[in-house]
Every structure is written in C-alpha cells, then in structure tokens.
C-alpha cells in the first residue's frame, strides 16, 4: 500500500481539527497502520495532545531544500509518540515564519508534497495533516498535498459557513492547480442532539453535501479532558461514545 496523505482542514478555528487529527492518527495506529501525524498548525497542539512538546520540525520541513543532506535533517525531526505505529512531526510558532518564507520564495503549491516525498519510502501507511485555522499559504499547500481531505465543522452556523470556503478552495485547487485529491467527507463535530442549532446545521450540511457528510462527533467534555491529560481518547476511555465515534471514522477512512 502506498502512503496516503489525509488533510484535516477548515479555515475556521475551534472546530475540532486537532482532536480529529490526533484521534484519527491514533485510531489508524491501533488498527495496525504506520502513521505520521504532521502538525502544520503554529499552535503546535497535536504534540501537546499526545503528551509531547511542540518543536520546530515543520519549519524545517517547509523551508529546507531537497538535497540528501537536507532530507536527512528534515527526517531527523520525526518523533516517537510513545504509541505503537504512531509518529509525530512536531510544529510550533516557527511554522508562521515558514509561511512567510514560502510566500516570499513564491514556492509552488506542490511544495509540501515534494517535501514529504522522502517519507513515502519509510513504510508509512498514512500521513495525517493537522492544519492551521487560516489561509495564506500553508493550508492550500497542505490540501494540495492531500489525497483525501476531511473537513471538520462544528454544528453551528458560522462553522458551517466556513465549510463552503474550504470547498471553494478545493474546487479551485482542482480546476486551476491540478489537484488530484478528493474530499473524503465533512465531519460534523460538537454535535448536540438537544439543541435546535446543532440539528438545523447538520440538516443544512446534509442537504448541501449529501452523502459526503459523515456521522457526527457528539460534543463531549471527555474530549477536552483527554487532551488535558496528554492522552488520546482511546487511551483515556476507549469505551466512551467519543472513542466509538472516532473509531468508526477510522474504520471508514480505512475503506478509502
């Protein structure tokens, strides 16, 4: 199986991108896959959620060239997450600087995919991107590098509106930049069946995107608690509803 890149993207913040990226990455690892989680968010919270510290690896991934020496250096930033099959490529606030460099150098949209090529030979099954809630270079390049994109969205009006913007970006990347990837699905998060807003927004998503809307992840305090303790939801409580929902997402991803 060749390495598959999955981007978790939405320009809106606070929609559960990091939680989804970390849970999906660990879920895939628990299913026996070799997974590299790349933290493209300058907040560096994928590392924090896994109980590790943010580091500047992504800055070098995005700004170094492709010579053998540079590739070796870039690969040296891969960190063990302390979990079987799950590796972390950490980022921190330096990633913001990398964005400026990318734009100043007018790097092509394919630059992140090119930078990741050395990793394709490492026996990895999946590379997961946790992206930043912004536009300006990195997110577009991350989506272009992705074979599949999952768009998490909180089930409320403003977040759902953000989905339209990501969808627009993907259409443009496909039409103008030759992107060969595809949308895997829109993932409603923070779903609360008790509130009218959640239900209406979920219905609006389904009317607009049909079968591309995945089973929602319910709002759960436990997801915040496990991040606080540096554990994934599968480590914190693998029997809870959130763990079950993220494992269902994992199983779905394995079908693609």
Partner 1 sequence: MSDRRNPFGVPPEQTSPASPPDIFESLPVAAPRERDRAWERKHQNRKVVYRGVDPKAALQVRQIADELKVPTGEVARALLEYGLDAYSRGDLNLSPRPNPARLRMTLFPSKDAPARKVKKAGKRKPSKEEAWRVITTWRNFSPELKHEIAVLASDKGLDVPVGELVSVFLQYALKAYESGDLALQPVEKITRYSLALGGDF
Residues that bind partner 1 (CB under 8 A): 32, 148, 157, 160-161, 163-164, 167-168, 170-172, 174-175, 179, 181-185, 200-201, 204, 208-209, 212, 255-256
What is the nearest approach in angstroms of partner 1 to the Cβ of residue 143? 11
What is the nearest approach in angstroms of partner 1 to the Cβ of residue 65? 24
DSSP 215: P
- 161 vs 225 by CB, closer to partner 1: 161
The torsion angle over the Cα atoms of residues 125, 107, 22 and 167, rounded to 10 degrees, is -100
Between CA 172 and CA 166 the distance in angstroms is 10
- 182 vs 222 by CB, closer to partner 1: 182
- 120 vs 224 by CB, closer to partner 1: 120
What is the nearest approach in angstroms of partner 1 to the Cβ of residue 220? 24
What is the nearest approach in angstroms of partner 1 to the Cβ of residue 37? 20
CA-nearest of 22, 8, 170 to 83 is: 22
What is the nearest approach in angstroms of partner 1 to the Cβ of residue 31? 8
- 73 vs 157 by CB, closer to partner 1: 157
- CB 86, CB 26: distance < 8 Å: yes
What is the nearest approach in angstroms of partner 1 to the Cβ of residue 52? 25
Q: Which two tokens stand for residue 72?
A: 């070796």
- 208 vs 218 by CB, closer to partner 1: 208
Between CA 99 and CA 92 the distance in angstroms is 12
Between CA 192 and CA 100 the distance in angstroms is 39
CA 193 to chain centroid: 25
- 13 vs 230 by CB, closer to partner 1: 13
What is the nearest approach in angstroms of partner 1 to the Cβ of residue 201? 7
- Looking at beta carbons, which pairs linking 227-230 to residues 24 or more positions away fall under 8 Å? 227/18, 227/19, 227/22, 227/45, 227/48, 227/49, 229/51, 230/48, 230/49, 230/50, 230/51, 230/52
- 138 vs 186 by CB, closer to partner 1: 186
Burial class (CB within 10 angstroms; exposed 0-12, middle 13-18, buried 19+) of 165: middle
Between CA 148 and CA 141 the distance in angstroms is 13
């Amino acid at each position: 199986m060749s390495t598959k890149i999955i981007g978790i993207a939405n320009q809106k913040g606070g929609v559960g991108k990091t939680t989804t990226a970390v849970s999906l990455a660990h879920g895939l690892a628990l299913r026996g896959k070799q997974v590299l989680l790349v933290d493209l968010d300058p907040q560096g919270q994928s590392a924090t959620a896994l109980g590790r510290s943010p580091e500047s690896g992504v800055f070098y991934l995005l700004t170094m060239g492709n010579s053998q020496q540079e590739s070796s250096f870039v690969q040296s930033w891969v960190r063990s997450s302390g979990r079987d099959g799950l590796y972390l490529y950490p980022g921190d606030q330096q990633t913001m600087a990398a964005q400026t460099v990318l734009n100043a150098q007018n790097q092509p949209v394919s630059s992140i995919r090119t930078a990741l090529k050395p990793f394709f030979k490492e026996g990895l099954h999946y590379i997961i991107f946790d992206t930043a809630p912004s536009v300006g270079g990195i997110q577009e390049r991350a989506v272009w590098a992705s074979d599949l994109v999952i768009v998490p969205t909180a089930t409320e009006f403003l977040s759902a509106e953000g989905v339209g913007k990501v969808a627009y970006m993907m259409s443009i990347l496909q039409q103008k930049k030759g992107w060969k990837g595809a949308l895997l699905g829109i993932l409603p998060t923070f779903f609360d069946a008790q509130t009218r807003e959640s239900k209406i927004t979920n219905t609006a998503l389904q009317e607009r995107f049909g079968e591309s809307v995945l089973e929602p992840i319910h709002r759960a305090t436990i997801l915040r608690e496990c991040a606080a303790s540096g554990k994934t939801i599968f480590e914190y409580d693998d029997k809870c509803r959130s763990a079950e929902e993220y494992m269902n997402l994992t199983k779905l991803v394995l079908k693609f």
